[in-house]
Amino acid sequence: MVERTGTSIRARVRAELTAEIKSAARRQLAAEGANLSLRAIARELGMASSALYRYFANRDELLTALIIDAYDALGAAAETADARHRKRADHVGRWLAVTRALRAWALSAPSEYALILGSPVPGYRAPADTTGPASRAPLVLARIISDAAAAGALADVAEPPLPAKLRAELATVADQVGLDMSEPVLARTILAWTQTYGAISFELFGQLDNLVDRRDEWFDYQARSMAALVGLT
Amino acid sequence: MVERTGTSIRARVRAELTAEIKSAARRQLAAEGANLSLRAIARELGMASSALYRYFANRDELLTALIIDAYDALGAAAETADARHRKRADHVGRWLAVTRALRAWALSAPSEYALILGSPVPGYRAPADTTGPASRAPLVLARIISDAAAAGALADVAEPPLPAKLRAELATVADQVGLDMSEPVLARTILAWTQTYGAISFELFGQLDNLVDRRDEWFDYQARSMAALVGLT
DNA sequence: TGTACATCAGTGAACGCGCGTTCACTGATGTAC
DNA sequence: TGTACATCAGTGAACGCGCGTTCACTGATGTAC
């Protein structure tokens, strides 16, 4: 993004137009898929296509901004869903609330979900600044598990062996994000997050068509299964 | 596809060129992502772009052919992996062999995997003829489970309740594909297939970067977990 | 408070490119008698 | 077996379109004195 500081009128107008460009871009994404066209955005906003270059250096920069926004929106949805759950000790309830919120966000903004969690956009490589926002949602899930573990509320679950080197890798990851979790618990958490992502993508990308119609119930069933697999009670 | 019958020389040459067009298209897909360009394919084959219209009525028809081929290739990989497993009663082994084969195929042809299981291609809607090939791979997994069930080798597993109507829907599905399975078992099978799909997509679409490097071990851990969840022993 | 100058947003034309699809055509391969 | 005709594959030009990005420009907003 073309950064510019200050709180003058000009700066505020600038911020507003930047937001308008992004939301026009999101609308375009919803209509056309990942083929983002700067000219089409400019057309919708009634301005010359060259004007966009005062706000974003090029197409990729705009895409990056959209990706970061999407990760942040998904992360925020997860965080508020967890925060709103009053009974903090009801870990299964929190897991259900958060995974449902993730799904609801995805269904409300399918093209943005596809942008961050679908197949990569051809010819685009995400810069490093996305990793922070990208980890918000999974961290919320992880925190539910670590809360349960800390409260001694995590059931023992039979599980396949973890090879030593994989185990060591998981220990490093837990360390880096500051999670107090045993390696097997972290492994199960990532597994469950992967399943959740798979369930949402399946529904969104049409793999559930002609298979399951009662989508809400089916999702809940899956979420509960995964909560149980992780050991939440 | 522009159908034409006969086994004359002309017909054989025609079949060969059709295959060449598809494989050039696949190469293009691998290089550029889902932005399939007829002109680029024609260029690579050293022919006029208009010549392609003797083989495919338009771009969408070529895409459809590629999608069907990809589903078939994935299905064939699953089927041969299962067939090659000699110990038919070793259901966990068969599950591992098949899911590993699915992953291996996806890693060897990431763009084709993305074509069928990634985010939908903008502006393209799959016709009905894809549903047959699309179900080959999941059916192989389902058959392993139903074999285990038939052999009485499926462990009882605690699981969340299935709402009656969802249960009825699952019964219909089992009926349609001719699977002799109880609804809870079918539910767990679809869940496990969803997780498997999520695991492969996670790896392929870069979500595992900076998280897990020992991919083979990680995948096996997940596959074994899912086998256990379904009740394979 | 007013003036002079610098900064910035937005314009419109242009560059150079690629795309899917159609169409009238040529020449080779196949078929019927 | 040879000839006449129909079928087919492939060509090359053209239509009409859209794209990202650059550039010199105008006029408005902000800043310094």
**In this complex, which of B187, B198, B228 lies closest to A198 when CB atoms are compared?**
B198
**In this complex, which of A118, A123, A217 lies closest to B166 when CB atoms are compared?**
A217
A-to-B residue pairs, Cβ atoms closer than 8 angstroms: 143
Residues of A in contact with B211 (CB under 8 A): 173, 190
Interface of B with A in 38-57 (CB under 8 A): none
Q: How far is the CA of B56 from the C1' of D4 (A)?
A: 32
Per-residue flag: A80 CB under 7 A of strand D: no
Q: How far is the CA of B50 from the C1' of D15 (A)?
A: 14
- Whether A226 contacts A218, CB under 8 Å: no
pLDDT over 70 for what percent of chain B? Answer: 97
The pLDDT-based confidence of B3 (bands split at 50, 70, 90) is low
pLDDT at B31: 87
Give the number of other Cβ atoms within 10 Å of residue B208's Cβ. 18
pLDDT at A226: 98
Secondary structure letter of residue A37 according to DSSP: -
Mean pLDDT of A101-121: 95
Structure token digits, residue B14:
């025609």
Give tens-digit pLDDT for B87-98.
Answer: 999 999 999 999
Residues of B in contact with A29 (CB under 8 A): none
The pLDDT-based confidence of B33 (bands split at 50, 70, 90) is confident
DSSP codes, chain B? -------SHHHHHHHHHHHHHHHHHHHHHHHHTT---HHHHHHHHTS-GGGGGGT-SSHHHHHHHHHHHHHHHHHHHHHHHHHH-S-TT-HHHHHHHHHHHHHHHHHHSHHHHHHHHSSPPTT----GGGHHHHHHHHHHHHHHHHHHHHTT-PPP-------HHHHHHHHHHHHHTT----HHHHHHHHHHHHHHHHHHHHHHTTTTTTT---HHHHHHHHHHHHHHHHT--
Residue A11 vs residue A231, higher pLDDT: A231
Say if residue B125's pLDDT is above 70. Answer: yes
> What's the one-letter identity of residue B80?
T
Q: What gap in Å lies between CA A164 and CA B69, rounded to an integer?
A: 40
Residue A76, min C-alpha distance to chain B (Å): 19
How far apart, in Å, are the Cα atoms of A120 and each of A80, B130, B200?
Answer: 28, 23, 14
Structure token digits, residue A49:
């296509």
Chain C footprint bases within 7 A of protein beta carbons: 8-14, 18-24, 29-31
pLDDT at A35: 86
- Taking C1' of C23 and every protein CA, the nearest residue is B50
Average pLDDT, chain A: 94
pLDDT at A41: 97
Say if residue A208's pLDDT is above 90. Answer: yes
- Whether B116 contacts B71, CB under 8 Å: yes
At CA A182, angle to CA A181 and CA A186, rounded to 5? 70
- Orientation angle between helical segments B59-84 and B131-150, nearest 10 degrees: 20
Interface of A with B in 158-177 (CB under 8 A): 158-160, 162-163, 165-166, 169-170, 173
- Orientation angle between helical segments B215-230 and A215-230, nearest 10 degrees: 110
Determine contact: A187 vs chain B, CB below 8 A. yes
Residue A67 CB contacts under 8 Å (≥ 6 apart), including other chains: A115, A116, A126, A130
Give tens-digit pLDDT for B131-173.
Answer: 899 999 999 999 999 999 999 999 999 899 999 999 999 999 9
DSSP codes, A66-110? HHHHHHHHHHHHHHHHHHH---TT-HHHHHHHHHHHHHHHHHHSH
Determine contact: B132 vs chain A, CB below 8 A. no
